Structure 1
Amino acid sequence: MLHPEVSAFVDRARRALDDGPPVVPLPRLSDAEAPPGTAAVVRTSGSTGTPREVALSAAALRASAAATAERLGSAGRWVLTLPTTHVAGVQVVVRSVLAGTPLVAAPPEAPFTPAGLADLLAEALSGHDPVHVSLVPTQLHRVVQAADDGAPAALRALARCGAVLLGGAAAPAPLVRRAREAGVPVVRTYGMSETSGGCVYDGVPLPGVRVRVDPVTGGQGVVELAGPVLATGYLGDDAATAAAFGDGPDGRWFRTSDLGHLQDGVLQVLGRADDVVVTGGENVAPAAVEAVLAELLDGEVCVVGVPDPEWGQAVVAVVGRPGTPAGTWLPSERLTPARSEVAARLGRPAAPRRILQVPELPRRGPGKVDRAAVVDLVRRHDARR
């Protein structure tokens, strides 16, 4: 049985989709009036600065849910593991409402645990509908870790699901591979508040969604998205709306802050454009370095640029792994082979000059690593060296 607070949110979402008042999960940042047809007002994560309020129409939310059901092969029954203060959680509720199947969710303040997820999935899997769930990489990592530690119930339950959507942050390839080897039907999603949540699944846009890349260099460019899932705009910020959303002869497009590469219609996201590290005059994409290091080191990896008098920025990696002593530098006998492997695959400028080990990476929002806080973390530990 749903917690009363969750049940009330589901009811508000149902009314909002039928032209009722929009759902507003967090206190408003401005007094700007939402445009007619708005069904939800959600905040961006603030990863590029001050959070903005995004107006999502009922039509956009419905289009996103319908496209997801088409891609997954069924509307299914949904399990809510994400906060409804973020677009991914809102969309799980919307999909459940439109599917007409009962939502399964923990109480709002209950912390995520693999055991708790196993209980939720057991309830959902007791019916006949395919079960879908959305997770962020941190949650999946905890489930896999629990299985490796002798508590496999959640991982086994995930393997019985119709689809496990994984988004909110870049998912390390070893984590995805480990989950899929256990039979978990992982679907990596890419999207944001401005696109009603995930709109590209495993690199392929959902039905009705279009992707293009505005070239920058070397086959890379800024990712742009179009389709019925786009937000109306930012409330109280006409300038930001005009800068991000543009109408042209081929429709309305949203310009993201991400770099990507398109090959044969499949999108590879390379990370945020403003995360690129310029070291010794060379551009380094953190996501590419993180992918290599994730294969070599046990833990979640974040690569950042730290001010350096010689190089302008030094490439530094921070690895989060539970149980690691706070702030220990990877010793040279392990750093040197890691640097060599990165250099061999991506070029010498991409090789991290040092690697810091911490129990957990700082975060902003559900699953998102706070890169500014990671830089501060490195600088503090550099000062102690």
Structure 2
Amino acid sequence: MSRPLKVVDSADPAAVFRALRAALSGVGPAILPHPGRPEGLPETVEQRVAVVVETSGSTGRPKRVALGADSLLASAAASDVTLGGPGQWLMALPAHYIAGVNVLVRSLASQTEPITIDANGTRFVAAANELDAALRFVSLVPTQLQRLIEQDDALDALRRFDRILVGGQATPAPLLARAAELGLTVTRTYGSSETSGGCVWDGEPIGDTGVRVVDGRVELSGSMLAHGYLGDPERTESAFHELDGRRWYRTDDTGTFADGILRISGRADDMIISGGVKISLGEVEQAVRALPGLGDAVVVATEHAQWGQSSVVVTTRPAELLQLRDAVAAVLGRAAAPTGVVVVDAIPLLSSGKPDRAAAARLAGG
């Protein structure tokens, strides 16, 4: 059996919210929240598909993740349990990203109306004050949290939230420490469109999420998993597999899982070879971001005449290269030390608030 697939303008979160309610209940078509006019979509999808989320692929070819109502609602239920109950959400993320969809699904599951604002944070203070539920939540990316912390008038608004979820990318340790000093209850989330959003909070799996690391790669399982990629069986087969009756999603992230805690070290596709040594750009970036004033720095690859490849730090704050090299070398070894620093007026961002690494690489000459 099949059902129609409808594109909904993600610039109108209220429209996405209404269409999502119908899609999850089964009375309406499946939806693809999108800011433009995507091409190559089928008119119908399998009946079990409720939402399609388009996300960029490492090859530049977009991935269209097919999610079922059961998966999305299982994610929302696990969130409610971990948060201590259902509450009202402030929607500060684009509605075409899984984190934005997740906020809307949680709101539907909680039977509350989300307050929506521009993803850049416009009206944040006023919107936070409109929340009137017993429990109040917001989901942000690290860049948003950093900007809000720096705004004096936003601190009281941030303190109104019972939980601030931060995900989409690694959150710098100094930012987490600063948030704690200010009395903010921040939780780091990890997940992807393929897992209906965040399924690991502060390193611990929530709900029935299963975690394991195979050959250095993180794999996830549980009732929140997507059905696969729309119209792409080959990619689906590559990313999802079954073992002993349990279905697993093989992520592009590297890390370790010990004593019930998942620690992400980087991405499998962010590895470079510098002087014959394999280096993770993610690990270099974590080491750089731990330094004072460099919490928003981005580390990108560049060609190097002597070493083949090396890393360059793109930052909005002037930094002494020798000090940076020593700091990174102390953590990761001398081979991982960056070979350059590029100071820019602002870190280029995607509409989700994440760093635009391709644009940063161009600024660095990579």
Contact conserved, 2:275 with 2:309, CA < 8 A, in 1? yes
Alignment-derived partner of residue 162 in structure 1? 162
Name the CA distance, whole Å, in 2 between partners of 1:226 and 1:315. Answer: 33
Alignment-derived partner of residue 383 in structure 1? none
The 5 A counterparts of 1:103-114 are: 103-106=114-117, 110=118, 112-113=120-121
Alignment-derived partner of residue 285 in structure 2? 290
Contact conserved, 1:294 with 1:301, CA < 8 A, in 2? yes
Is 1:313 the counterpart of 2:309? The answer is yes
Alignment-derived partner of residue 325 in structure 1? none
Contact conserved, 2:75 with 2:207, CA < 8 A, in 1? no
Name the CA distance, whole Å, in 2 between partners of 1:175 and 1:343. Answer: 22
Alignment-derived partner of residue 30 in structure 1? 40
Is 1:137 the counterpart of 2:142? The answer is yes
Q: How much has 1:295 moved relative to structure 2?
A: 2.8
Q: Which runs of 5+ in 1 are unaligned?
A: 147-151, 216-220, 322-328, 381-385
Contact conserved, 1:29 with 1:53, CA < 8 A, in 2? no
Contact conserved, 2:310 with 2:338, CA < 8 A, in 1? yes
Alignment-derived partner of residue 68 in structure 2? 57
Give the direction of change, closer, same or farther, for the CA distance of 1:282–1:376 in structure 2 (3 Å limit): same
Is 1:344 the counterpart of 2:314? The answer is no
Q: Which amino acid aligns with 1:129?
A: A
Is 1:198 the counterpart of 2:208? The answer is no
Alignment-derived partner of residue 301 in structure 1? 297
Name the CA distance, whole Å, in 1 between partners of 2:329 and 2:364. Answer: 22
Alignment-derived partner of residue 7 in structure 1? 14
Alignment-derived partner of residue 218 in structure 1? none
Could you say what secondary structure the match of 2:155 adopts? helix
Contact conserved, 2:143 with 2:354, CA < 8 A, in 1? no
Contact conserved, 2:270 with 2:282, CA < 8 A, in 1? no
Q: How much has 1:48 moved relative to structure 2?
A: 4.7
Q: Which amino acid aligns with 1:227?
A: G
Name the CA distance, whole Å, in 2 between partners of 1:111 and 1:197. Answer: 17
Q: Which runs of 5+ in 2 are unaligned?
A: 1-10
Q: How much has 1:258 moved relative to structure 2?
A: 0.8
**Structure 1 counterpart of 2:91, from 53, 66, 80:** 80
Alignment-derived partner of residue 116 in structure 1? 123
Alignment-derived partner of residue 367 in structure 1? 353
Q: How much has 1:297 moved relative to structure 2?
A: 4.2
Contact conserved, 1:169 with 1:367, CA < 8 A, in 2? no
Could you say what secondary structure the match of 1:336 adopts? helix
Alignment-derived partner of residue 184 in structure 2? 184
Q: How much has 1:111 moved relative to structure 2?
A: 5.8
Alignment-derived partner of residue 149 in structure 1? none
Alignment-derived partner of residue 6 in structure 2? none
Name the CA distance, whole Å, in 2 between partners of 1:358 and 1:5. Answer: 33
Q: CA RMSD in A?
A: 1.8
Name the CA distance, whole Å, in 1 between partners of 2:247 and 2:40. Answer: 25
Q: How much has 1:363 moved relative to structure 2?
A: 3.0
Give the direction of change, closer, same or farther, for the CA distance of 1:167–1:205 in structure 2 (3 Å limit): same
Name the CA distance, whole Å, in 1 between partners of 2:154 and 2:57. Answer: 31
Give the direction of change, closer, same or farther, for the CA distance of 1:28–1:337 in structure 2 (3 Å limit): closer
Name the CA distance, whole Å, in 2 between partners of 1:22 and 1:320. Answer: 42
Name the CA distance, whole Å, in 2 between partners of 1:139 and 1:364. Answer: 12
Could you say what secondary structure the match of 2:32 adopts? coil
Could you say what secondary structure the match of 1:40 adopts? strand
Q: Output one character per residue of 1:283-332: Cα deviation in whole Å (capped at 9) or x when no partner.
A: 222222222222324141111221112101012111135xxxxxxx74xx
Contact conserved, 2:92 with 2:119, CA < 8 A, in 1? no
Q: Output one character per residue of 1:207-236: Cα deviation in whole Å (capped at 9) or x when no partner.
A: 110111112xxxxx1111100111111111
Name the CA distance, whole Å, in 2 between partners of 1:6 and 1:377. Answer: 33
Deviates further, 247-256 or 41-50: 41-50
Contact conserved, 2:321 with 2:340, CA < 8 A, in 1? yes
Q: Which amino acid aligns with 1:138?
A: T
Q: Output one character per residue of 1:62-94: Cα deviation in whole Å (capped at 9) or x when no partner.
A: 000000111111111111001101111111011
Q: Output one character per residue of 1:263-284: Cα deviation in whole Å (capped at 9) or x when no partner.
A: 2111111121110121111122
Name the CA distance, whole Å, in 1 between partners of 2:123 and 2:275. Answer: 48
The 5 A counterparts of 1:141-290 are: 141-146=146-151, 152-215=152-215, 221-290=216-285
Contact conserved, 1:261 with 1:268, CA < 8 A, in 2? yes
Q: How much has 1:364 moved relative to structure 2?
A: 3.5
Q: Which amino acid aligns with 1:201?
A: W
For normalisation by structure 1, the TM-score amounts to: 0.87
Q: Output one character per residue of 1:104-127: Cα deviation in whole Å (capped at 9) or x when no partner.
A: 112xxx4623x6111111111xx2
Contact conserved, 1:76 with 1:132, CA < 8 A, in 2? yes
